[in-house]
């Protein structure tokens, strides 16, 4: 029995350029959040932050890194369309 093709797109339809840019932003945002957690966490610990200050600082760095890297990934994906 043949496998049924799954997914959002059928066999003849490709994702639109906007869909690709959304996917690029999402992937870039996730990568930026992960790197922001690593770098922001280490730098905050090095500055001696603890408790609520640590969480607030790391969260802010994660969102900033995710937004920045996601934006550049979306732009790069849009250029490739």
Tokens of 57: 């600082």
Distance of CA 18 to the CA centre of its chain: 16
Half-sphere exposure of 50 (CA within 13 A, CB side): 1
Quote the percentage of the chain above a pLDDT of 70.
85
Tokens of 50: 């603890």
Residue-wise pLDDT for 20-52, tens only, equals 999 999 999 999 999 999 999 999 999 999 999
How far apart (Å, rounded) are the C-alpha atoms in residues 32 and 60? 12
Quote the percentage of the chain above a pLDDT of 90.
79
Tokens of 28: 């870039």
Looking at every residue in the chain, the average pLDDT score rounds to: 90
pLDDT band at residue 64 using 50, 70 and 90 as cut-offs = very high
Predicted TM-score of the model (pTM): 0.79
At 13 the pLDDT is 86
């Amino acid at each position: 029995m043949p496998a049924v093709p799954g997914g959002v797109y059928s066999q003849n339809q490709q994702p639109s350029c906007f869909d690709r840019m959304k996917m690029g932003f999402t992937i870039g945002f996730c990568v930026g959040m992960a790197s922001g957690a690593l770098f922001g966490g280490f730098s905050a610990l090095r500055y001696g932050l603890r408790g609520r200050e640590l969480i607030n600082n790391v969260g802010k760095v994660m969102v900033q890194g995710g937004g920045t890297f996601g934006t550049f990934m979306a732009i790069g994906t849009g250029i490739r369309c």
